[in-house]
Structure 1
């Protein structure tokens, strides 16, 4: 079974580690990790580590786009790429200081795509969907693409019989919810922005997820950082609480969480067990430098220490 991961706004990620990072002065990095990036590539990386077959579909441009494709191939990440002529795929710089509270992300906006570019990407996604059992739409939209176009793509792919889990934010998330995807996985801040209220506690998350279920969404999950994740489906609502850790970088943690959730579901796990795997993956990612990078042995240890509660 294959999970198709749509990444509308991919990137070349350069993650650099600095000891005692200070702005306004010359600094030398201790470590550089260059990788195919964007949220969907992070999801694919983590899913691949778990042994889950995944196919990434993304629009790529220029020399940078071809480099992203080559990096993905070198990692064993399968891609169905659409090459546009709207400019270079964006580059994002991620700064990690071991002494800081969290990493810093410097994200380019990326090229501005035209309607023809989006139509080409959507056609490629539709072709790839034939081989998939579950689909994920992960990340922001490229410049020039109206949020409604995402809703149309969701309707098209689900009309082909492919259930989709959506992980995006802002106007794109609003458009996605209007299209009634099978599933949604976002963080509390993203969902709170759309619903117009704070979602920072378990109680607030449960209420928000109930609202999504009332809109016709089958599976809904909201991550809450150190508080873990709350998820709901036809069987009930569950909270997964990970053990306490010393955070290295939260960048990519939500993507690994989504990879674990999708992998668990494709393996036939009930939601509580899939959620346990998801939170363990997200927590493992938070202990590493670079998005979507997890250690399977560490995931197993964290899963055993993750508490599942029905709420």
Structure 2
């Protein structure tokens, strides 16, 4: 079983405008409310790939009820921990003529000690052959070591884990050997306080993550495609042609495609191909990609071995 953790889920209120004019009244051309959160996005893609997962997280208040109602349409298996404070709302504004995306993200609920304990109790069911995918920001009153503590816990129970975060929180989990980590090229540069002048620079720094303990490293590079770096080889997937409509969730989709396929096949190259297709398909969609779009994009992607 795959478990996804969205510690700080949201209702994403996505607004389309022709142009965003600061300090003025702006009117939308369309809007949509979506259940948001990086782990939720992963579970949605896994469902499209006909793979079961259980979505975990903290949900509360009137917005939490709305969040769960929106999520029911996705037919996901969920087991949320109910909290007293409200689930947050994130506002995402797409200015079409300016080709700009603006995000205003809520902070999220404060989590009590009892609510945290109830959440961790659910993870006691995780065991051999399971994978836990942890991603996204943390709500208030949750320590920065939350993901690290979970990784230690579920690893002791025989499960594998994936961590999709940045900075020191990512580096701290590497000695526990996550199945895969997926920084983009900018996040990777920030991790090692450097800049990249070539693709080889990206590969060299991705290898540092392998040296620190990661089993696989995916590096997304937007229009330049993506890289898979393993202990033996480096592979590159091209960026397929298409119009980017909404990049939110593309990285989550890539992780879902990789992890879901790897659990079935143990083939890192095929998993990379599927992951790249899922990521691009979501970028070309208003919401998280559907299976037909993933299949379409898959056929436009070629994976080549660089070394």
TM-score, normalising length from structure 2? 0.91
Where relative contact order (Cα < 8 A, 6+ residues apart) is larger, the structure is 1
How many positions carry a matched residue from both structures? 306
Mapped to 2, the partners of 1:71 and 1:125 lie a distance apart of 25
Given candidates 104, 107, 110, the residue that maps to 2:108 is 110
Pairwise CA distance, 1:102: 4.1
Shift of 1:20: 2.6
CA RMSD, Structure 1 to Structure 2 (Å): 2.1
Q: State the distance in 1 between where 2:196 and 2:152 align.
A: 28
Which secondary structure does the structure 1 equivalent of 2:80 belong to? strand
Q: Select the residue among 263, 268, 288 that pairs with 2:265.
A: 268
Give, in angstroms, the shift of residue 116 of structure 1.
3.5
Aligned to 2:20: 21
User: Do the aligned residues in 1 keep the contact of 2:18 with 2:98 (CA within 8 Å)?
Assistant: no
Distance 1:295 1:17 in 2: 21
> Is the counterpart of residue 304 in structure 1 residue 302 in structure 2?
no
SS at 2:227 equivalent = strand
Summarize the Cα distance change of 1:99–1:260 in structure 2 as closer, same or farther, 3 Å threshold: farther
Shift of 1:212: 1.3
2:35–2:70: 8 Å Cα contact kept in structure 1?
A: yes
Residue 150 (structure 2) pairs with residue 153 (structure 1): yes
Cα distance in 2 for partners of 1:92, 1:122 equals 26
Larger displacement relative to structure 2 (71-80 or 194-203): 194-203
Give the superposition deviation at 1:253. 1.0
- Counterpart position of 2:136: 139
Unaligned runs of 5+ in 1: none
Give, in whole Å, the separation in 1 of the partners of 2:220 and 2:196. 10
Instruction: Give the Å deviation of 1:173.
Output: 2.1
Residues 98 and 49 from structure 1, CA distance in 2 versus in 1: closer, same or farther, beyond 3 angstroms? farther
After superposition, residues 181-260 of structure 1 pair within 5 angstroms as 181-198=178-195, 201-234=198-231, 236-260=233-257
TM-score (norm 1): 0.90
- CA drift of 1:6 comes to 0.9
Matches within 5 A, 1:60-75: 60-75=59-74
- Structure 1 contact 151–178 (Cα < 8 Å) conserved: no
